[in-house]
């Protein structure tokens, strides 16, 4: 009784519980492929049934030959049956392989698309705790591991167990003692399961963590090659890569040692059992209790038993790898998601060109575990106004824009958009009301036209040129080889910073959004171009503009100027910002 309780306790341990939770998650995400999985499993079971029938037919054939049972016709019949069954098994196995390859690729793609979409919908602030290289590694390697397990270890477990139990059932019919011998390794495997699974999970976690560290390091290095070269850091970065690779090697080699030891031990148990069965079969033949045909049947079944047992044992590492990967994906998916509450209300206002007023009342915000960045902010921006926010570096200008975009949630107060009889709290649902140009470069790879049409896919060519003209980008785009069709490298690598800024402004102007948020977007422009760009923006019909700047030269175009300082927003008297403007 106490042994059973001990076994139960071991099976209910935290490690196995985690494994079960993660496996359930994988199963839940495989739900939509259940028909394909079921078809795959059924084909596999049919193949097992054919193999067993083939073994039983071999027994009949051997007995017909050795003991001359049923004459020549029976030998011929049994021989043809054996050949037909063997041929069918080969064809069926080929079908199963083709089917599984197709499903694996499809499941991998769909699961990756699903997880990628979920990552994009995750609350931005929470997602910040992960390095982008780590996220990349989760989307690629971890999703591949999980996708592989959908048609990998889960159906394989069913098939291998079926093969094991079916072989055992046939043995049970012919010799119950041999069936008991075949089950001898089960208690050893059960007792070892929890510590083995625990250790394997911890190795797997370490491997995935150091793998992520390597991807993150590589990604960051490739993004910053000019800075690395400029600071003569090539050798230092090579050394850093060597250190990460060394950690990867050490973890990998320790895991390998452990895997080889456990797999050799468990395979030895399986082999011992299969030789025990074989010995017992030989003994029974010697005693004259079984015939030659049954002995051959036992030989085949013993090989099925040992191969299914060893396949079951080898499923453990892949199951654990998939569960660790599932946990890594789950830990991102468990973060809060962006909530979209009736986005169609804001979309209608934008579609109908309703003038919108933005009102902030007592708005407050602090990043997790940090001192407040914004305290008791009050502000009202009327439709078609252009206002500026100035303030020292780190005073919270970008943070305010992130709040307006619904990327961050206020920790106090409110931000509301009113117009057309609606009053909408600023949130991810009202993001369509804003066109944002951030401080840093956000040009994607593709042609100039593709970059612009990201925000308005059906925009006609004239609209693209009009937006480029307003952003003072028309001349340089006309000068590019191919003009609008000129391919741009990632992060606008083939353009200057100022050209990238103007392209990003043109893209924001092209968007349907009525409120432009410009976060120090003219910092790389000369004073004259900057002035012209902002004059053009101020003249755009139906656009409101909130800009942040460190350059007083642009303030003359604004109706009001606010200063963010010590987390508070203060309206600057005109005399003061005009003085700032004149001094420049
Ligand atoms: N993701 C973040 N997590 C934690 N703190 C942050 C984060 N982003 C910014 N901060 C902090 O919030 C404060 C305001 O930063 P913010 O980027 O809004 O300033 P800013 O006025 O736009 O600065 P700059 O003029 O230099 O662009 C800073 O103290 C900064 O360290």
pLDDT digits (tens, 9 = 90+) for 342-366: 888 999 998 898 999 999 999 999 9
pTM (2 decimals)? 0.73
Mutate which of 131, 369, 390, 395 to test ligand 1's pocket (most atoms within 8 Å of Cβ)?
A: 395
Is the distance from CB of 571 to CB of 388 less than 8 angstroms? no
Task: State the distance from the centre of ligand 1 to the C-alpha of 571, rounded, in angstroms.
Answer: 21
The runs of H, that is alpha helices, within 405-473 are 448-453, 461-470
CB atoms within 10 A of CB 241: 14
- Same domain? For 377 and 469 the reply is yes
| pLDDT confidence of residue 290 | 83
Structure tokens at 465: 């040129």
- Chain centroid, CA 68 distance in Å: 64
Gap between the Cα atoms of 546 and 552, Å rounded: 15
- Same domain? For 79 and 143 the reply is yes
- Same domain? For 66 and 143 the reply is yes
| pLDDT confidence of residue 68 | 67
DSSP 8-state assignment for residue 488: E
Asked whether residue 91 carries a pLDDT value surpassing 90, the answer given is no
Task: State the distance from the centre of ligand 1 to the C-alpha of 399, rounded, in angstroms.
Answer: 6
Gap between the Cα atoms of 57 and 519, Å rounded: 79
Identify the domain boundary among 333, 359, 379: 333
Question: For the sheet containing 374-381, what is the strand order?
Answer: 374-381, 357-365, 412-419, 422-425
Q: Which residue shows structure tokens 């012919």?
A: 174
Burial of 482 (0-12, 13-18, 19+ CB in 10 A): exposed
Asked whether residue 580 carries a pLDDT value surpassing 90, the answer given is no
Q: Which residue shows structure tokens 């048609």?
A: 151
Task: State the distance from the centre of ligand 1 to the C-alpha of 398, rounded, in angstroms.
Answer: 7
Measured by CA distance, the residue closest to atom 18 of ligand 1 is: 396
* pLDDT confidence band for 15 (50 / 70 / 90): low
Measured by CA distance, the residue closest to atom 6 of ligand 1 is: 367
Task: State the distance from the centre of ligand 1 to the C-alpha of 174, rounded, in angstroms.
Answer: 77
Q: Which residue shows structure tokens 């094991």?
A: 164
Mutate which of 129, 130, 373, 440 to test ligand 1's pocket (most atoms within 8 Å of Cβ)?
A: 373
- Same domain? For 259 and 378 the reply is no
Q: Which residue has the higher pLDDT, 146 or 551?
A: 146
CATH number at residue 256: 1.20.1560.10
Task: State the distance from the centre of ligand 1 to the C-alpha of 406, rounded, in angstroms.
Answer: 16
Beta 412-419 vs 357-365: how paired, if at all? antiparallel
Gap between the Cα atoms of 83 and 292, Å rounded: 20
Task: State the distance from the centre of ligand 1 to the C-alpha of 373, rounded, in angstroms.
Answer: 8
- Chain segment 534-579, per-residue pLDDT in tens: 889 988 888 899 999 877 777 778 888 999 988 899 888 877 766 6
- Same domain? For 512 and 450 the reply is yes
Is the distance from CB of 82 to CB of 54 less than 8 angstroms? yes
Helix (H) or strand (E) holding 499: helix 497-510
Gap between the Cα atoms of 43 and 33, Å rounded: 15
Structure tokens at 358: 């933005």
Gap between the Cα atoms of 297 and 174, Å rounded: 10
Is 572 a domain residue? yes
Give, in degrees to the nearest 5, the angle at Cα 505 between 441 and 439.
35
Asked whether residue 18 carries a pLDDT value surpassing 90, the answer given is no
- Chain segment 262-271, per-residue pLDDT in tens: 778 777 777 7
Measured by CA distance, the residue closest to atom 28 of ligand 1 is: 394
- Same domain? For 264 and 362 the reply is no
Beta 422-425 vs 374-381: how paired, if at all? unpaired
Q: Which residue shows structure tokens 């690395």?
A: 228
Asked whether residue 510 carries a pLDDT value surpassing 70, the answer given is yes
| Mean pLDDT value across residues 234-259 | 89
Is 210 a domain residue? yes
22 Cβ partners below 8 Å, 6+ apart?
322, 323, 324, 326, 327, 330
203 phi, psi to nearest 5 deg = -60, -45
Task: State the distance from the centre of ligand 1 to the C-alpha of 44, rounded, in angstroms.
Answer: 58
Of 153, 540, 137, 82, nearest to 322 by C-alpha is: 153
Measured by CA distance, the residue closest to atom 5 of ligand 1 is: 367
Identify the domain boundary among 333, 367, 391: 333
- Same domain? For 254 and 396 the reply is no
> Percent of the chain having pLDDT more than 70?
94
| pLDDT confidence of residue 16 | 67
* pLDDT confidence band for 341 (50 / 70 / 90): confident
Mutate which of 132, 389, 398, 551 to test ligand 1's pocket (most atoms within 8 Å of Cβ)?
A: 398
Burial of 90 (0-12, 13-18, 19+ CB in 10 A): exposed
Is 5 a domain residue? no
Mutate which of 397, 411, 522 to test ligand 1's pocket (most atoms within 8 Å of Cβ)?
A: 397
Beta 515-519 vs 357-365: how paired, if at all? unpaired
- Same domain? For 438 and 293 the reply is no
Is the distance from CB of 498 to CB of 529 less than 8 angstroms? yes
Task: State the distance from the centre of ligand 1 to the C-alpha of 364, rounded, in angstroms.
Answer: 14
- Chain segment 288-305, per-residue pLDDT in tens: 888 888 888 877 787 777
Structure tokens at 418: 């009113």
Q: What share of the chain is helix, strand, coil (3-state, %, to 5)?
A: 70, 10, 20
| pLDDT confidence of residue 357 | 93
- Same domain? For 451 and 376 the reply is yes
Mean per-residue pLDDT of the chain: 84
- Same domain? For 300 and 377 the reply is no
Helix (H) or strand (E) holding 8: helix 2-11
Gap between the Cα atoms of 75 and 68, Å rounded: 8
Gap between the Cα atoms of 459 and 470, Å rounded: 16
Which atom in ligand 1 lies closest to the alpha carbon of residue 125?
Answer: 1
Is the distance from CB of 361 to CB of 378 less than 8 angstroms? yes
Of 23, 267, 262, 265, nearest to 152 by C-alpha is: 23
Is the distance from CB of 108 to CB of 148 less than 8 angstroms? yes
Is 182 a domain residue? yes
Structure tokens at 384: 């078609």
Which atom in ligand 1 lies closest to the alpha carbon of residue 564?
Answer: 21
362 phi, psi to nearest 5 deg = 55, 30
The partner residues of 547 in beta bridges, in order of sequence, read 388, 518
Asked whether residue 150 carries a pLDDT value surpassing 80, the answer given is no
Task: State the distance from the centre of ligand 1 to the C-alpha of 430, rounded, in angstroms.
Answer: 23
| pLDDT confidence of residue 194 | 65
Measured by CA distance, the residue closest to atom 26 of ligand 1 is: 393
- Same domain? For 264 and 390 the reply is no
Is 339 a domain residue? no
Backbone CA torsion sign across 347, 353, 357, 358: positive
Gap between the Cα atoms of 290 and 276, Å rounded: 17
Identify the domain boundary among 272, 306, 333: 333
Q: Ligand 1: residues whose CB is within 6 Å?
A: 128, 367, 370, 373, 391, 393-399, 439
Task: State the distance from the centre of ligand 1 to the C-alpha of 400, rounded, in angstroms.
Answer: 10
| pLDDT confidence of residue 1 | 45
Task: State the distance from the centre of ligand 1 to the C-alpha of 74, rounded, in angstroms.
Answer: 87
Is 1 a domain residue? no
Beta 412-419 vs 422-425: how paired, if at all? antiparallel
> Percent of the chain having pLDDT more than 90?
23
Beta 357-365 vs 374-381: how paired, if at all? antiparallel
Measured by CA distance, the residue closest to atom 23 of ligand 1 is: 394
- Chain segment 467-491, per-residue pLDDT in tens: 999 999 999 999 999 899 998 887 7
Measured by CA distance, the residue closest to atom 11 of ligand 1 is: 394
| pLDDT confidence of residue 297 | 81
Tell me the three state secondary structure of residue 417: strand
- Chain centroid, CA 253 distance in Å: 27
- Same domain? For 299 and 396 the reply is no
Q: Give ipTM to 2 decimals.
A: 0.97
Which atom in ligand 1 lies closest to the alpha carbon of residue 399?
Answer: 18
Q: Name the domain count of the chain.
A: 2
Domain of 410?
346-582
- Rg (alpha carbons) of the chain, rounded to whole number: 34
Which atom in ligand 1 lies closest to the alpha carbon of residue 402?
Answer: 18
Structure tokens at 566: 């010590």
State the number of CA atoms in the 13 A half-sphere of 35 facing the CB.
Answer: 1
CATH number at residue 451: 3.40.50.300
Is 519 a domain residue? yes
| Mean pLDDT value across residues 166-183 | 81
Question: For the sheet containing 568-571, what is the strand order?
Answer: 434-437, 515-519, 544-548, 386-390, 560-565, 568-571
Is 338 a domain residue? no
């Amino acid at each position: 009784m106490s042994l059973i309780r001990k076994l139960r306790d071991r099976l209910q341990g935290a490690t196995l519980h985690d494994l079960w939770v993660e496996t359930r998650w994988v199963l839940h995400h495989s739900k939509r492929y259940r028909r394909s999985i079921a078809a795959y499993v059924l084909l596999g079971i049919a193949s097992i049934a054919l193999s067993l029938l083939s073994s039983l037919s071999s027994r009949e054939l051997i007995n017909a030959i050795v003991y001359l049972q049923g004459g020549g016709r029976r030998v011929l019949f049994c021989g043809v049956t054996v050949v037909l069954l063997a041929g069918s098994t080969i064809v069926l196995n080929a079908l199963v392989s083709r089917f599984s390859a197709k499903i694996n690729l499809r499941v991998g793609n769909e699961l990756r698309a699903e997880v990628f979409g979920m990552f994009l919908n995750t609350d931005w602030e929470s997602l910040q705790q992960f390095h982008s290289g780590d996220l990349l590694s989760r989307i690629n390697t971890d999703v591949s591991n999980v996708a592989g397990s959908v048609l990998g270890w889960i159906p394989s477990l069913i098939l291998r167990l079926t093969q094991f139990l079916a072989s055992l059932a046939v043995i049970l019919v012919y010799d119950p003692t041999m069936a008991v011998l075949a089950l001898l390794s089960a208690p050893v495997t059960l007792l070892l399961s929890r510590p083995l699974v625990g250790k394997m999970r911890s190795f797997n976690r370490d491997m995935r963590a150091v793998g992520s560290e390597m991807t993150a390091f590589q990604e960051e290095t490739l993004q910053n090659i000019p800075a690395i070269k400029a600071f003569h850091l090539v050798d230092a970065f090579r050394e850093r890569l060597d250190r990460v690779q060394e950690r990867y090697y050490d973890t990998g080699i320790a895991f390998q040692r452990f895997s080889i030891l456990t797999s050799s031990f468990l395979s030895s148990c399986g082999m011992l059992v299969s030789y025990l069965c074989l010995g017992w079969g030989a003994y029974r033949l010697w005693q004259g209790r079984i015939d030659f045909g049954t002995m051959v049947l036992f030989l085949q079944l013993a090989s099925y038993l040992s191969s299914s047992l060893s396949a079951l044992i080898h499923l453990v590492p892949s199951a654990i790898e998939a569960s660790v990967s599932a946990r890594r994906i789950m830990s991102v998916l468990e973060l809060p998601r962006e909530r979209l509450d009736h986005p169609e209300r804001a979309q209608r206002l934008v579609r109908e060109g309703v003038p919108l007023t933005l009102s902030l009342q007592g708005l407050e915000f602090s990043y997790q575990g940090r001192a407040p960045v914004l305290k008791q902010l009050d502000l009202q921006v009327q439709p078609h106004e252009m206002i500026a926010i100035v303030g020292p570096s780190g005073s919270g200008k970008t943070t305010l824009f992130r709040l307006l975009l619904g990327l961050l949630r206020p920790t106090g107060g409110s931000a509301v958009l009113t117009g057309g009889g609606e009053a909408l709290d600023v949130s991810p649902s009202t993001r369509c009301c804003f066109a944002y140009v951030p401080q840093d470069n956000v040009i994607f790879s593709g042609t100039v036209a593709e970059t612009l049409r990201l925000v308005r896919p059906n925009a006609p060519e004239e609209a693209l040129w009009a937006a480029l003209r307003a952003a003072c980008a028309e001349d340089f785009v006309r000068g590019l080889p191919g003009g609008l069709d000129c391919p741009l490298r990632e992060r606008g690598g083939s353009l200057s910073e100022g050209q990238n800024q103007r392209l990003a402004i043109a893209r924001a102007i092209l968007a349907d959004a009525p409120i432009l948020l410009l976060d120090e977007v003219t910092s790389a422009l000369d004073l004259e171009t900057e002035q012209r760009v902002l004059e053009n923006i101020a003249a755009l019909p139906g656009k409101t503009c909130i800009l942040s700047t460190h350059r007083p030269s642009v303030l003359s175009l604004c109706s009001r100027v606010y200063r963010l300082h010590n987390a508070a927003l203060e309206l600057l008297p005109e005399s003061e910002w005009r003085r700032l403007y004149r001094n420049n």
